Structure formats: C-alpha cells, structure tokens
Amino acid sequence: MRRSVALRLSAASAAMALATALGVALSMPDEASAATGSATGYATQNSGTTGGAGGQTVRATTGTAIHAALCGRASGSTPITIEVEGTINHANTAKVSGSSCNTAAGVIELKQISNVTIVGVGSGAVFDQLGIHIRESSNIIIQNVTVRNVKKSGSPTSNGGDAIGMESDVRNVWVDHTTLEASGGESEGFDGLFDMKDNTQYVTLSYSVLRNSGRGGLIGSSESDLSNGFVTFHHNRYVNIDSRAPLLRGGTAHIYNNHYVSLNESGINSRAGARAKVDNNYFEDSKDVLGTFYTDAAGYWQVSGNIFDNVTWSSPGSDNNPAGPDPQSNTTVSIPYSYSLDAAACVPDVVGRTAGAGTGLQVSNGNCSVQTPTATPTATPTSATPTPTPTPTQPSGTNLSVGAGSDGSSKASGTSYGNVRDGDLTTYWSPAAATGSVSIKWGSATAVSRINIREASGSTGAIGSWRVLNGDTGAALASGSGAGAISFTRTTLSKITFEITGSSGTPKVAEFETYAQ
C-alpha cells in the first residue's frame, strides 16, 4: 500500500532536524572556493568535464547575480566559476539579458552555454524552491549546493518541479556533493530530484544526498526518449524515496557504492533496453530495489558485490520484473574509465561521512577511508569578487552626462531619468521594482571609459549587483556590486546603460556621471 512521502515526513522530522544541524556544523571552511577535485565517472569521457576552470571567478549572493555573471562574459563559452553563498530564491532571481546568456526569472537557467562551474562557498548555498535547469549546454560543474522543495504545481513553481533538470542536447555535467530534497511526492506538487532527458549524455552524480521525494530521478522522459545515457551514480545516499532511484529508459548507467535507505516502492528501474552496471551498493529497509517495473519493456543489469539488508521483493507480473530475491546478471556492461570500489559493507559509513553539501568535499580513497581532495590547479579562483569592480578613486575631467539625454526602464512615481544628469544630488531616479536600468545617450558617438554612480542621500548601499552595457550593441562592459566609480575598456558608443540586477531596499541613482578618462 502506497504511503505518501509527506505523511512519512512526520516520522522522520526529528532525524532530519538532526541531519540539518550536523550539516551546519560540518559546513565548508570559509576559505574553500572553486571546484575541488576532478570529475569522475562518465563525466570524464567525451573530452572530459572541467567547468569554468581557467576563467574568471566571481561571488554571487542572489540568483540575479548568478545570471548577471553568466551574461557578463565575453561569450557563451567563456569559462567562469561562480561562487555562491546565501539563499537563492524567487525574490532574488530575475531574468538578465545579454549576448552570452539566455536566462529566465524563477529558475537558475544554464541555457545554450558552456564552461561553467557553480560552487557553494562560505556559510553555504541554498537554492530554496528554485531549481537549476541545464539546457543545450555542455561542460558544467555544480558542487556543494543544496536545492530544496522545487515545485511543479502550487506556488511558487520552478523548473517543472525538478531540483536539477537537464534536457535538449546536454553534454558533460558533473554534479558533486549536493543535497537535493523535497517535502513530498507528485500529489504535493514535487517531481524529480535529478532528471535527464532529450539527448543528455556523459553525466556523473557523486557524493550527493537525495531525500524525501516521490521521485529520485530519471534518464529519459518516455519509452521513446532513448537518446540519453552514459551516466554514473556513485557514493550517493538515497533516503525516503518512493521510486526512480533512478529510472533508466534506454542508455547505459554505472551505479556503484551508493547507500539506499527506505526506497518505498521501487529503486533502480531499468527498462526499455537500458543497461545498468550495479556494483557494491548497500540497500537497506527497502522494496524492489532493482528490476523492471511498471512496464513490459525490459531493461537489463549486471550485478556484483551488493548487500541487500532487509529488502523485500514483489512477485513477478506482466509489467513487474523484480531482480530479487536473488539478483543475477542478465547482461554485461563495459566501463571505459578507471574507478575504485569500496566494499559494500563500509558504504553506509563512507557515504554517511562524505555525501551532501557542507561536508567539506570529503571523498572516499577507494579503500573504505575518507580523505579531502586538493583543489585542482585549473580551478584555482582568480578573484573572490566580480571584476571589474568599482574603485574608490573618483573620476576627473568633464562629466559627459551634462547636456546629454537619458532614458531607461520603468521609473518609480515622482522620479525622472533626467535627475541622473542634472548635477543635483537631492533628485534621483528609482526603478519601479527592485531592479531596472537607466541610460545616458548622445546624439553622436562618444568615447567613454569610466562612469560614476552616486546614490541619493539615505539610500547608500541599496544598489547590489549591476552591469554596465553598451547601449548600442547590448554587450556587457563591466559587472560587479555596489555604487561608485567603475572603469572599463574605453568604448565609443552613443548610449551607455547602468543595469541594476540586485538591490536591498529601494535603489536611488542621484547621478550617473560619464567620463572619457
């Protein structure tokens, strides 16, 4: 008889509260930054997965700032590492536009881009009710973040209800040391925690916790979506999941050294010709942990070294083919990369100490012991803050805004675009919302290399993240946070835009000064 995840949560609430407390106690050191270690599993194939290694490193505390960092790159493939700290939610995640990005409000959108790392740092990064969507993209790393309570129905919704979802020609993604969790099943508005569909390949999920969800995740959205595969799952902990741990529709998966606890209806569901190599996993207090379920389209598995601890099995039927009670291999799967197997008996201990966000990025040494990897040289941060950033030195020379024109996005009642170029610090422009843009424009091309944003009295510090744009082409000239003087490469243009992408309180721009030097 089906028990909803939401009802089971009441019995598990005390344990989850303790786990949360431990997660805080074991959070990463403040100095931890950039991706640590190297990709494993199938993410190492097809030229490998390095994310933003070798590129600029920026720090983001809002979803809008993450989008702004993507949009501020020279191109959609320019490498970048985005260090994330704090809570990312709908209120601070707006769409940002640019030639190097394609974003949307209410979801972290990694669309039509490549060479990006998103890594939680400092006191931690939590994506609250807001999913991460990877689409038509490649070479992506997501590490040390928590994604929780993403809904496909009810309010608010994000990413179709998937915590992390990949679709449409996605290649080479490494998701590592994450915590993906829901608070119920489909009837409570949640969908999958880790979904791949529509030609997604060469993916690894490692050292992660997936819990309290009706659906753990899938490879392939239907029996006809068979273009996905080459996915590795290792050293993950699945807890209190109804089914799909994972669901495989076609393709090849390598599933090793995972700890499964309370799989309530089914676990690894290999169907529609899928082939799974299932090595040295520990299955505990669960039902039908491996087989082909809910279909007559057979899937296949190769098994070795697994432990089945208090696992129950249903009887075979026309659309139900459990692998147990004595699982035997019915195919062989060749793995193209090297890997080390922990003995299944030590998996609960090793995975319990290493999996999830905030565990110090510890990993197994392949011999039932835990170690901390060193940062890969190619992933070393180049900066802890967005660059270029405002400088404290005030510009000199002629303020080119005097006598120029101005326009912008919607303005708050009682304010004017002209107030940013009138030389009066008591008048100002404010956007109609927490974000917006204001521009200075000239009748002929003008060379600009520096601007100065002055906030109105009483509102200092309200401006958060921003971008400076070439108003003629839309290209980003600079990005950062906080008002003040901003320098960039000397550019000849007829319009320059200051776009506020994040703020606290009501931003008020008293003066938008422009300078040639």
What span, in angstroms and rounded, lies between the C-alpha atoms of 57 and 59? 7
Handedness of CA 59, 61, 67, 71 (dihedral sign): negative
**Is 244 a known active-site residue?**
yes
Give the list of residues 6+ apart from residue 86 with CB closer than 8 angstroms, or none: 61, 62, 123, 125, 126
Give the list of residues 6+ apart from residue 93 with CB closer than 8 angstroms, or none: 62, 63, 64, 66, 67, 105, 106, 107, 108, 130
Helices and strands (H and E) in the chain: how many: 3, 33
> Pairing relation of β-strands 132-135 and 108-111?
parallel
Q: Burial level of 15, CB count in 10 A (0-12/13-18/19+)? A: exposed
Q: Which of the 8 DSSP states describes residue 346? A: G
- HEC string of 280-319 equals CCEEEEEECCEEEECCCCECEEEEECCEEEEEECCCCECC
Catalytic residue among 148, 171, 244, 421: 244
Q: Which of the 8 DSSP states describes residue 72? A: T
Taking CA atoms, 220 is separated from 71, 137, 465, in Å, by 30, 17, 38
Catalytic residues: 244
